[in-house]
A and B are shown apart, each in its own frame.
Chain A
Amino acid sequence: MLSEFHIHLSTKVSIISLSYGMDSVSLWLSFFTSVVMLAVCIAAVHIKKRHKLFYVLVLLVEAVLLHIYSIRDGLLLCAALLLLAFLFLLLIGIWGDEHSERTARRFFYWQLAGIFFISMSCILLLGSSDQYFQLSNVQLGELPLASTLTETADHDQRILAFFMLLVGLVCYIPIIGMHRPFLSVYRQSHLVVSVIYSLAIGSIGIYISYRIGLVYFADMMHWISKPVIWIMGFQWLLASIGLWRQQNVKSWLAYIVWGQYSILVILLLSGSEIGLTMMWLQMLSFQLIIALLCVLLTSLYERTSSLQLEQWNGALKGSPYLTGMFTAALCGLMGIPGLSHFLGTYHAILLSFPISRWITVAGVLGMMSVVAYNVRFLFRLQQGQADARMKDIADLRFIEALPAIILLTFIIVLGCYPIIAVDLLEYELHQLHKFWEHAVAALPEVNASFLSVFDFNSVAWKLPVVVSIAMSLAIWLVNNRQRNINRMLMWQAIYHLLTLIAVVTSAKAMSAELDITLTILAAIWYAVMLLGCYSMFRTVLAPEHMQIHALTGLYHRRPILAFVIMLFLLALMSAPLSAGFSYQLSIIELWSAYGQYGLIALWLISHTLMATIPLEYIIRMYITKDTSLDVTELMSVPVHWYVIGFSSLAALIGLAFWL
């Protein structure tokens, strides 16, 4: 019955389609995401700063997440990931601590890199089989198609696509050695934002591994499963031991979540149907428990005004309901029988044994460390030496208790009757497991020849193309710290011109049929966009003040204009939903039809790098907290700038639909 829920709308660019569907995994993820995000929204009632904007962003995050779980097109998924990364940029930057701007920026760059690799993986996958290419897009969750692909695909191209996917996933699932960006997001963000991050970004990493990794690269996932499980086992132990050195609640949460991701990956790669089922049970349970912790931690934070663990000693004395809920939440996290985390945790230890007994040993030691620490934590909260101001801590209010009770009910029900969730998942996971067993029968041979997929010696690499790409990279190198708005726009214009030159030249070299109308429209669109962007800047800044620092805090002073400028800047970045994005996809479609993956890769790199320049201006408008700068308000603005600006916006929107 679920398979009947399927929508498919083609677009003008054939490699992407508006394809949506629902299966049991999507259904449960969507349902639990809705429940936990509701609880998190209620927990965020203590946020006073820009709370309307906060709720707008949180609701958008939830919308994008629900969108992601129902998407059935690989490139559309990447587009949604871009939107999500941008939303988190704002969430981390605006409500974080003093260095949150830098953390938000780094987070976004990290996500951009991840999305780049995942997109490249989808593009390579698309062109790896002639038979598959006829379908035109990377369909998610379609086992028969994946089976065809495995049998007919170009071997080297599939391997390259797989490595690209792996590298991209590292940006979503923290792996030891590259876990610092992940930890710094927690340390610098607001507590509620960290929780939303746990529910969103990490879960998506697991989801992508499941949807794309296990389906299209089952044999290769099996091939790397042992070393990855080794790493995860060691990581779990490290995260459990690292807990003991944390002095801040957010850091504690970061290490807890890091350990949980390790368990999820172990279950994902265990190669058994039970492992897959337990992985999804554990994922749902993880979301519930983290949301419950969010509600409780924010309640305590609101009462104590501190996130230092030392200052929370004795905070729960005289608060029986808060104590009870905390005990339940931490017991759930520890995997006490009867609660939702027990089965998954137990099976992670069990299923790691065939790989190596030492992973099981590491897992058991990790669990012991987590339990010991959490017991100590709970004891200190209940019976520690309390500060004077901790003596009159109020118990849970109704608005706090209600979501906590709902979440706890789910945790207990899922723990006692997991069949409620498993029953629906069974068929799909069983089918996937059978497919997996068939696919892993022949393991791939890997040699360095897969790099030849990036054919840098092809006919497309004429001099103008080389110059365009090289100049784009040079422009970014020289101008990524550009503070002058006029110059920034000038270089953006040159960059887009270079893009058009590269497209036309390469199409001619490949004797490809280029849609001239589309190219002309794209050129017009770029011109309109740049003009509109300049006009809107002129509505807020005088010609002599066209510097980036003049935009500091523009959101507070002129929110509507700031929003419109942001739209133009996003269009400059060719963000999803803009005409530029569609045009980029049409270029990718053209090049991938002729196997020019090297060209796609380098061009995407230069485009991604160039997109970071307008991003700085958005950060300055919305996130930068430096109030020491003297910003001169523009008192009178000629009307024609408004006219040009808003007309350009209308044209932008119109052309977006057209293209």
Chain B
Amino acid sequence: MLAWSDIVWVIPFLYGLIFIIGLTVGRSHQRVMVVSSTLLSAAAFIIAIGLTWERATIQADDYSYYVDWLVIGDTFFRIGYELNNLAAWLLVLITGINILLLCLLYHKQDQAAISSIYGYMGLLLFAASGVVLADHAVTFFACALLISFSLYLLLSHPIYGSKPKAIFQFITAQLAGYAAFLAALVVLYWYIPNHSLEFTMLETFFSGSAAGFTQQMKHIIAGALVASALFIAGLIPYGHWMKQLELERPILRVVIFCFGSALLPISILLRFRVVITESTDVLTLCKWLGAIVVLWCTIRILTRIQDAMAYIGMTMVGIMIFAYGHGVYVYMIAQLTFIMLSLIAIYGSAIRTSSVIVFGSFLVAVLTLIGVPPLSGYWMQQSLIATIAVQNSSWTIAALLVVMCSALGVTISFTSYWKKLSFPPKRGAVFIVLWPALLLIGLGLLWLVDNQRLEQWLFNMQTMETMKLGPMLLTMLSIAVGVMIAWLFSERITGALSSKLEYIDEGLQQSGERLANTIRKLGRLVARGGQLIERAIVQLLTTWLPFPLRFISRTGAQANILQSIGLVAVLTIIMIVLWYSVGGDNTE
């Protein structure tokens, strides 16, 4: 009997409780809020650890549970959850990250922790755990919406003072993303048997012949889902909101990136992979998009160093999408884990403790992201290269280029970040940065010991290639080249090249703005035209057509009694004559 799996529902419940406490009791009792949210988060983490351990050791089947939430006729709306190994891993990740974030929040004195922030974090984690555990596409959609909503609440919180542009770009991207998601759901709903959008149903249906779906429909649905992931992640040129967020808000950046730009889009891609993989064209598009995003972001980092921290996030998401296109799902999960842990360590190093331990942890995190051997990041990069080389050798060069750009970007971004940090001596909780660093090292070792087992455990498949010498060396070379370029050439890019790139960049921006202005002008013209037509019709119906009647009424009001009697008589005779001439006759 699986004890921990039975109580997995407690995790979202605990986070929901934090949200309610944050908006009610916590408003006037901040200490109560801090203590209660920490304890409840710790409890959630323990449950997550427990069930992951249970699933890792007992080799249990997927576990699901549901209740009938609403019944209308023959239609059952169910709320439930589905626990599999992937969900267990993600639960551990998000609950663990949450505890570290809470600790960071507590120690960051310039962001004075107020109860509503904790409350919104509770809502965010509630929604995130819902996304991880959802067994139905609509539940997934609702929880995803709640994630974006809670991120919006955090972003627009007065204490962070975010720029309006950041908020509006975030909202625009989310709206576009959810519109595409909704479109995919609507089409799936109407064409799938019994209108059932449960993930098990999707898997069963699309693993078979998927009757009723033409290839074009599959392309559209897959494209819509991928588009939604991309929009939600913020991979919109010139529209990425992270650029507008100040570096002095590290916790906000970490939260928004981890949950909004990374976890949510990756969850969409992985949960709906059975649908998306039906369209090889869309998968190819993912490969291309991922590569282009990484390349473009790298160029942007080189030319606009001030936005480096925003673009590095996009680079990491881009590389995960590139991997998704090649079906290397375990890479995505591993990379997501490394990114989250590394960001905690990197941003946590700004808690103003100058110590070797903090610097060391920072270094471990950065080197993991770069992919320097023998850390865990390197093993994942080389596995990616090896897998792609085996599947489709024509993409190997692109993959090496992507890995090189990733290394280049990370190096520039985080070294410039480190240079900007100031470290007045102050005691802080070192474990906040130490713990993620140790985990990163530990995961690397785990990979070395048994790298096949993770993919088998998470996805019940074996696609990733084991360590091969050729890919290992090529990967090492790419990373080295990337780091070298970053160190040697990033400050030496000629002014002419830099200004040329900026000129192209400005030109593109201006074209985009001109297009937007044209669309706005067109919209205004259409609206004005519509208004004019409407006014003309109203004028015709209310003034010109009834004019004779109004004239008669005015005359009657001004006339004396005899005149009005005469007018009535005349009108009556006219109407009677019209009546009989039109054909009103009672000769029967």
Seen from chain A, the residues whose Cβ lies within 8 Å of a Cβ on chain B are 177, 180, 241, 245, 273-274, 277, 317, 320, 324, 327, 331, 336-338, 342-343, 346, 349-350, 353-354, 360-361, 364-365, 367-368, 371-372, 375-376, 378-379, 382-383, 418-419, 422, 426, 430, 433, 456-462, 466-467, 470-471, 473-475, 477-483, 487, 509
Distance in angstroms between the alpha carbons of A376 and B156 in the assembled complex: 11
Given A457-B583, A478-B555, 14 extra CB contacts under 8 A: A274-B72, A274-B73, A336-B146, A343-B70, A350-B185, A360-B186, A375-B171, A459-B586, A461-B584, A461-B586, A473-B575, A478-B553, A479-B553, A483-B557
| A376 touching B168, Cβ below 8 Å | yes
Residues of B within 8 A of A471 (CB): 568, 572
| A481 touching B586, Cβ below 8 Å | no
**Min distance, Cβ B568 to any Cβ of chain A, angstroms:** 5
| A478 touching B567, Cβ below 8 Å | yes
| A419 touching B584, Cβ below 8 Å | no
Question: Which of B175-183, B245-253, B353-361, B502-510 participates in binding chain A?
Answer: B175-183
Distance in angstroms between the alpha carbons of A643 and B75 in the assembled complex: 69
Consensus secondary structure, chain A interface: helix
| B568 touching A458, Cβ below 8 Å | no
**Min distance, Cβ A401 to any Cβ of chain B, angstroms:** 13
Distance in angstroms between the alpha carbons of A460 and B168 in the assembled complex: 69
Known A-B contacts A418-B70, A481-B556; A458 and B146 likewise in contact (beta carbons under 8 Å): no
**Min distance, Cβ B70 to any Cβ of chain A, angstroms:** 5
| B149 touching A474, Cβ below 8 Å | no
Residues of A within 8 A of B538 (CB): 180
B110 within 8 A of A: no
Contact string against A for B residues 183-196, beta-carbon threshold 8 Å, 1 for contact and 0 otherwise: 10111011000000
Choose one: A320, A336, A470, A475; the contact of B579 (CB below 8 Å). Answer: A470
Distance in angstroms between the alpha carbons of A456 and B583 in the assembled complex: 9
Choose one: A277, A382, A475; the contact of B72 (CB below 8 Å). Answer: A277
**Min distance, Cβ A158 to any Cβ of chain B, angstroms:** 25
B495 within 8 A of A: no
| B167 touching A274, Cβ below 8 Å | no
Residues of A within 8 A of B153 (CB): 327
CB-based A-B contact count at 8 angstroms: 151
Q: In chain B, residues 556-588, which have Cβ atoms closer than 8 Å to a Cβ of chain A?
A: 556-557, 559, 561, 564, 567-569, 571-572, 575-576, 579-580, 583-586, 588
Distance in angstroms between the alpha carbons of A168 and B183 in the assembled complex: 36
| A364 touching B179, Cβ below 8 Å | yes
Known A-B contacts A337-B145, A342-B142, A364-B182; A354 and B567 likewise in contact (beta carbons under 8 Å): no
| B70 touching A433, Cβ below 8 Å | no
| A379 touching B145, Cβ below 8 Å | no
Known A-B contacts A375-B152, A379-B164, A419-B69; A354 and B584 likewise in contact (beta carbons under 8 Å): no
Residues of A within 8 A of B585 (CB): 457, 461
Distance in angstroms between the alpha carbons of A472 and B586 in the assembled complex: 20
| A474 touching B171, Cβ below 8 Å | no
Residues of B within 8 A of A342 (CB): 142
Consensus secondary structure, chain B interface: helix
Distance in angstroms between the alpha carbons of A366 and B443 in the assembled complex: 47
Q: Which A-chain residue is minimally distant from B552 (CB atoms)? A: A477
B237 within 8 A of A: no
| B146 touching A338, Cβ below 8 Å | yes
Choose one: A327, A368, A459; the contact of B179 (CB below 8 Å). Answer: A368
14 A-B residue pairs with CB within 8 Å: A177-B537, A241-B527, A343-B70, A350-B185, A364-B179, A376-B168, A426-B71, A458-B588, A459-B586, A461-B585, A473-B571, A475-B568, A478-B555, A509-B586
| A337 touching B143, Cβ below 8 Å | yes
Known A-B contacts A461-B586, A479-B564; A419 and B70 likewise in contact (beta carbons under 8 Å): yes
Residues of B within 8 A of A367 (CB): 179
Contact string against A for B residues 127-167, beta-carbon threshold 8 Å, 1 for contact and 0 otherwise: 00000000000100011011001001100101000001001
Choose one: B185, B571, B586; the contact of A478 (CB below 8 Å). Answer: B571
Size class of the B contact interface (CB-based, 8 Å): 35 or more
| B164 touching A383, Cβ below 8 Å | yes
Q: Which B-chain residue is minimally distant from A471 (CB atoms)? A: B572
| A457 touching B73, Cβ below 8 Å | no
Q: Which B-chain residue is minimally distant from A334 (CB atoms)? A: B149
4 closest A-B pairs by beta carbon, nearest first, are A478-B556, A337-B142, A474-B571, A470-B575
Q: Which B-chain residue is minimally distant from A364 (CB atoms)? A: B179
Q: Which A-chain residue is minimally distant from B587 (CB atoms)? A: A457
| B149 touching A336, Cβ below 8 Å | yes
Residues of B within 8 A of A433 (CB): 73
**Min distance, Cβ B365 to any Cβ of chain A, angstroms:** 34
Choose one: A361, A430, A477; the contact of B549 (CB below 8 Å). Answer: A477
Residues of A within 8 A of B179 (CB): 364-365, 367-368
Distance in angstroms between the alpha carbons of A342 and B73 in the assembled complex: 20
B172 within 8 A of A: yes
| B71 touching A419, Cβ below 8 Å | yes
B554 within 8 A of A: yes
| B553 touching A462, Cβ below 8 Å | no
Q: Which B-chain residue is minimally distant from A324 (CB atoms)? A: B23
Q: Which B-chain residue is minimally distant from A371 (CB atoms)? A: B175
Residues of A within 8 A of B569 (CB): 474
Choose one: B75, B190, B537, B549; the contact of A354 (CB below 8 Å). Answer: B190
Distance in angstroms between the alpha carbons of A372 and B167 in the assembled complex: 11
Q: Which A-chain residue is minimally distant from B526 (CB atoms)? A: A241
**Min distance, Cβ A393 to any Cβ of chain B, angstroms:** 15
Give the one of A245, A368, A382, A478 with max B CB within 10 A: A478
| B527 touching A430, Cβ below 8 Å | no
**Min distance, Cβ A455 to any Cβ of chain B, angstroms:** 10
**Min distance, Cβ B34 to any Cβ of chain A, angstroms:** 19
Distance in angstroms between the alpha carbons of A477 and B183 in the assembled complex: 56
Distance in angstroms between the alpha carbons of A382 and B190 in the assembled complex: 41
**Min distance, Cβ A337 to any Cβ of chain B, angstroms:** 4
| B564 touching A430, Cβ below 8 Å | no
Residues of A within 8 A of B172 (CB): 372
Distance in angstroms between the alpha carbons of A457 and B559 in the assembled complex: 36
| A273 touching B73, Cβ below 8 Å | yes
**Min distance, Cβ B23 to any Cβ of chain A, angstroms:** 7
Residues of A within 8 A of B555 (CB): 478
Distance in angstroms between the alpha carbons of A426 and B185 in the assembled complex: 26
Residues of B within 8 A of A371 (CB): 171, 175
Distance in angstroms between the alpha carbons of A365 and B178 in the assembled complex: 11
Residues of B within 8 A of A361 (CB): 183
**Min distance, Cβ A425 to any Cβ of chain B, angstroms:** 9
Residues of A within 8 A of B190 (CB): 353-354
| A480 touching B553, Cβ below 8 Å | yes
Distance in angstroms between the alpha carbons of A482 and B145 in the assembled complex: 61
Known A-B contacts A180-B538, A353-B190, A483-B557; A379 and B167 likewise in contact (beta carbons under 8 Å): yes
Distance in angstroms between the alpha carbons of A375 and B166 in the assembled complex: 13
**Min distance, Cβ A478 to any Cβ of chain B, angstroms:** 3
Residues of A within 8 A of B27 (CB): 320
Residues of A within 8 A of B73 (CB): 273-274, 426, 430, 433
Distance in angstroms between the alpha carbons of A471 and B153 in the assembled complex: 68
Choose one: B145, B176, B564; the contact of A336 (CB below 8 Å). Answer: B145
| A466 touching B554, Cβ below 8 Å | no
Distance in angstroms between the alpha carbons of A354 and B195 in the assembled complex: 13
Residues of B within 8 A of A467 (CB): 572, 576
| A422 touching B72, Cβ below 8 Å | yes
Q: Which A-chain residue is minimally distant from B576 (CB atoms)? A: A470
